[in-house]
């Protein structure tokens, strides 16, 4: 929802700041008759400034919250935290430059006014050129950098607004209304073109950045404890059984073995909680990337003495539990649940977006995600990695040993659902 409102705010910001760029000196030339707009032009544009400030402050707070809790900020959310103010600053500075040019050309053709015009034009060009860099660094920067860049954008808006006010005060009201600004209505179109170019450059840069991160990022292996010399010897435990479903009897599952079962929303799914050694199981029926099985491959090379050595404590209490997570996913609208062997796959409009596998003391998730978000999670959480075997769509995988925060798990599910639902 916050991304939807962020995109809506960005659209409104482009439209409103584009209007700020237009002089309201004579609306009759465009077939409009609202003299009050001309009279209170500077106050109307000041009101737009206040609205842009409000938008930016709200999404600055949202960006800081996401940075602190999730370690990443979505591009649209980050842009909504600074772009409204920056766009207003550029627009109002463009208005001031335009008015200064007309004042110098038609009323006071002096060197002083020409120098002021040159300074305003130079400031406008710098604001446009720096805008792309500032907005990109705002998204990637930490909390302190975000606040500093926000203040920089606020300063630009303040300087531009004050400059526009000073130039506006130079004009006699009658002379101002007599100016021919018919073709300046096209200025917002040019403004929009600059914004679209910024989006294209930013998207291309983000794709390059993420492609490099995909090449270099690899999930860190979980630390393993070295065997103790005088470790007590105990009988080898029997292989742990795979989890089952309490509401589906064993006799009912035997005839279908490798077939799938579509489960109605009203039918409950409850799993057993048998603890399973994660180093002895593979991600069944999925093309698992080689690095995802490093632990298992290393274990196979060790002699059977490993079974007599006390295992390190890898697990924490699961929150949410596997059953709670399954119930949460099934409550999402129009979700179809499919049971196949030891996994539960969730579909929306016949498109899979999440696969869950329960191993008692931990569970696995394979999920759809945007590339940028997935890369950020890989960097922050060592148990998350990219599933390179699924080439058609962007899938990632995670082991939850109890170390993934509850909010992150639910956000993974909701984001995967939103990708298919969009």
Query: At 298, is the pLDDT very low, low, confident or very high (cuts 50, 70, 90)?
Result: very low
pLDDT of 216: 47
Query: At 295, is the pLDDT very low, low, confident or very high (cuts 50, 70, 90)?
Result: very low
Q: Do residues 406 and 320 lie in contact, with contact meaning Cβ atoms separated by under 8 Å?
A: yes
pLDDT tens for residues 15-39? 888 888 888 887 887 888 888 888 8
Hey, CA dihedral for 280, 283, 288, 291, is it positive or negative? Answer: negative
**Mean pLDDT for the stretch of residues 152-166:** 92
Residue 128: CB atoms within 10 A of its CB come to: 17
pLDDT of 247: 44
pLDDT of 229: 47
368: left (phi over 0), alpha (psi -120 to 50) or beta: beta
Looking at the chain, how many residues does it have?
422
pLDDT tens for residues 315-337? 678 888 998 999 999 988 888 88
pLDDT of 33: 80
C-alpha span between 329 and 162 (Å, rounded):
53
Query: At 44, is the pLDDT very low, low, confident or very high (cuts 50, 70, 90)?
Result: very high
Chain-centroid distance, C-alpha 417 = 15
Query: At 133, is the pLDDT very low, low, confident or very high (cuts 50, 70, 90)?
Result: confident
The average confidence (pLDDT) of the chain is 76
pLDDT of 315: 65
Q: Do residues 55 and 88 lie in contact, with contact meaning Cβ atoms separated by under 8 Å?
A: no
Domains identified in the chain and CATH numbers? 2-173+182-216 (no CATH), 250-421 (3.90.1150.30)
**Mean pLDDT for the stretch of residues 266-284:** 50
pLDDT of 263: 60
C-alpha span between 260 and 352 (Å, rounded):
14
What percentage of the chain reaches a pLDDT higher than 70? 71
Residue 145 half-sphere exposure toward CB, CA atoms < 13 A: 12
Query: At 260, is the pLDDT very low, low, confident or very high (cuts 50, 70, 90)?
Result: low
- The top-scoring range by mean pLDDT among 176-190, 207-221, 285-299, 347-361 is 347-361
C-alpha span between 205 and 343 (Å, rounded):
38
Query: At 137, is the pLDDT very low, low, confident or very high (cuts 50, 70, 90)?
Result: confident
Look at 134-143, 244-253, 376-385 and tell me which has the smallest mean pLDDT: 244-253
324: left (phi over 0), alpha (psi -120 to 50) or beta: alpha
> Which residue did the predictor score with more confidence, 373 or 206?
373
C-alpha span between 198 and 130 (Å, rounded):
11
User: What is the pTM for the complete model shown?
Assistant: 0.53
**Mean pLDDT for the stretch of residues 395-413:** 90
pLDDT of 209: 61
Query: At 249, is the pLDDT very low, low, confident or very high (cuts 50, 70, 90)?
Result: very low
What does each C-alpha distance from 263 to 251, 335, 338 come to in angstroms?
Answer: 17, 10, 6
Query: At 252, is the pLDDT very low, low, confident or very high (cuts 50, 70, 90)?
Result: very low
In the beta sheet, which residues pair with residue 263? 337
Quote the Cα angle for 308-310-313, to 5°: 150
> Which residue did the predictor score with more confidence, 422 or 273?
422
């Amino acid at each position: 929802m916050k991304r939807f409102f962020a995109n809506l705010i960005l659209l409104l910001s482009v439209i409103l700041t584009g209007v700020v760029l237009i002089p309201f000196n004579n609306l009759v030339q465009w077939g409009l008759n609202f003299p009050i707009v001309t009279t209170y032009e500077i106050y109307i544009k000041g009101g737009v400034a206040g609205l842009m400030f409000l938008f930016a402050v709200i999404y600055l707070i949202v960006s800081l919250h996401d940075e602190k809790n999730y370690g990443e900020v979505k591009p649209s959310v980050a842009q909504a935290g600074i772009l409204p103010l920056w766009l207003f600053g550029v627009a109002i500075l463009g208005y001031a430059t335009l008015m200064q040019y007309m004042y110098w050309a038609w009323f006071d053709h002096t060197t002083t006014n020409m120098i002021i015009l040159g300074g305003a034009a130079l400031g406008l060009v710098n604001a446009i050129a720096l805008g792309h860099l500032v907005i990109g660094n705002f998204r990637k920067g930490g909390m302190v950098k975000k606040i500093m860049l926000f203040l920089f954008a606020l300063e630009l808006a303040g300087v531009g607004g004050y400059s526009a006010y000073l130039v506006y005060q130079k004009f006699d009201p009658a002379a101002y209304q007599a100016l021919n600004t018919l073709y300046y209505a096209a200025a917002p179109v040019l403004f929009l073109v600059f914004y679209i170019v910024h989006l294209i450059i930013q998207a291309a840069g983000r794709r390059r950045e993420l492609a490099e991160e995909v090449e270099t990022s690899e999930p860190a292996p979980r630390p393993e404890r070295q065997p103790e010399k005088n470790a007590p010897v105990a009988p080898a435990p029997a292989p742990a059984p795979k989890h089952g479903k309490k509401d589906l009897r064993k006799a009912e599952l035997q005839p279908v073995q490798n077939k799938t079962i579509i489960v109605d929303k009203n039918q409950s799914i409850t799993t057993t909680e048998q603890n399973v050694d994660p180093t002895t199981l593979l991600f069944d029926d999925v093309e698992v990337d080689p690095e995802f099985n490093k632990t298992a491959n290393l274990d196979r090379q060790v002699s059977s003495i490993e079974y007599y050595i006390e295992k390190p404590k890898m697990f924490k209490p699961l929150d949410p539990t596997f059953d709670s997570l399954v119930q949460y996913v099934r409550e999402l609208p129009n979700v179809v649940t499919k049971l196949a062997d030891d996994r539960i796959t969730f579909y929306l409009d016949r498109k899979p977006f999440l696969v869950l596998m329960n191993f008692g003391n931990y569970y696995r998730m394979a999920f759809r995600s945007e590339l940028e978000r997935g890369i950020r999670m890989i960097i922050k959480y060592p148990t998350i990695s990219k599933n390179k075997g699924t080439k058609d769509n962007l899938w990632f995988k995670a082991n939850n040993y109890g170390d993934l925060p509850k909010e992150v798990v639910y956000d993974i599910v909701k984001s995967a659902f939103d990708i298919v639902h969009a």
